Amino acid sequence: VQLQASGGGLVQTGGSLTLSCAASRSPSSLNVMGWYRQAPGKQLDLVARYISGGSINYTESVKGRFTLSRDNAKKTVSLQMNSLKPEDTAVYFCYAEEFTPWGTTGRIYWGQGTQVTVSS
């Protein structure tokens, strides 16, 4: 599976950006799709993920501000980011998971990162 991320950029505090992740096959065929981010000097952290079956998980710091959506026809997963804060500044990575037949994590795929910079 190839993942192509786009949509990063520079925005002021309080602004909005939308990140898109285009997959080489339908997101409905993947068990998990979502976004991680890595701020300078920090670890890679989960931002939001869509899990097959319909549940969406958000990290606490983005709840109420970020919205993850999926378009199976366009084979994309998008992250709408509103009310951006300087602490959201990071490289954002699209990712996808395939489960094993036993429901555990199997293969993981990563897209290239896209930079999001929020100025104060």
8: left (phi over 0), alpha (psi -120 to 50) or beta: beta
The pLDDT of residue 53: 84
The pLDDT of residue 62: 98
Phi, psi at 26, each rounded to 5°? -60, 135
The pLDDT of residue 97: 94
80 near 88, Cβ under 8 Å? no
The pLDDT of residue 47: 98
pLDDT tens, per residue, the chain with 120 residues = 999 999 999 999 999 999 999 999 888 888 999 999 999 999 999 999 999 888 999 999 999 999 999 998 889 999 999 999 999 999 999 999 998 888 888 899 999 999 999 999
The pLDDT of residue 95: 95
Q: What is the DSSP secondary-structure string of the chain?
A: --EEEE--EEEETT--EEEEEEESS-GGGSSEEEEEEE-TTS-EEEEEEEETTTEEEE-GGGTTTEEEEEETTTTEEEEEE-S--GGG-EEEEEEEEEE-TTSSEEEEEEEEEEEEEEE-
